[in-house]
Amino acid sequence: MPSFYPPRRTLMGPGPSDLHPRVTAAMARDTIGHLDPEFIRLMDEVKTLLQYAFQTKNEMTFPVSAPGSAGMECCFVNLLEPGDKVVVAQNGVFGGRMKENVERCGATAVMVEDAWGEPVDPNKVEDALKAAPDAKILAFVQAETSTGAESDTEALVKLAHDNDCLTIVDTVTALGGTPVKVDDWGIDAIYSGTQKCLSCVPGLSPISFNERALEVVRNRKTKVQSWFLDIGLLMSYWGGEGKRAYHHTAPINAIYALNESLVMLQEEGLENAWARHRRNHNALRDGFEAMGLSFVVEEPYRLPQLNAVSVPEGTDEAAVRSKLLQDYSLEIGAGLGAMAGKIWRIGLMGHTSNPKNVYLCLDAMDSVLTGIGAPIESGIAVARAKQSYANADKIPHMEIPATTSN
Mean pLDDT over the full length of the chain: 95
378 pLDDT more than 80: yes
Tens of pLDDT, residue by residue over 309-321, are: 999 999 999 999 9
The 10 Å Cβ neighbour count of residue 242 is: 6
Q: What is the CATH number of domain 270-404?
A: 3.90.1150.10
174 pLDDT more than 80: yes
The pairing of beta strand 166-170 with beta strand 149-150: unpaired
- The CATH architecture one would assign to domain 20-266 is 3-Layer(aba) Sandwich (3.40)
> Sign of the C-alpha dihedral, residues 74, 78, 79, 81?
positive
The percentage of residues in the chain with a pLDDT greater than 70, rounded to a whole number, is 96
293 pLDDT more than 50: yes
* DSSP bridge partners of 112: 89
> What pLDDT, on a 0 to 100 scale, did the predictor assign at position 245?
87
pTM: 0.95
SS3 of residue 347 by DSSP:
strand
Comma-separated ranges of CATH 3.40.640.10 domains in the chain: 20-266
Comma-separated ranges of CATH 3.90.1150.10 domains in the chain: 270-404
> What pLDDT, on a 0 to 100 scale, did the predictor assign at position 396?
53
Tens of pLDDT, residue by residue over 213-255, are: 999 999 999 999 999 999 999 988 998 665 688 999 999 999 9
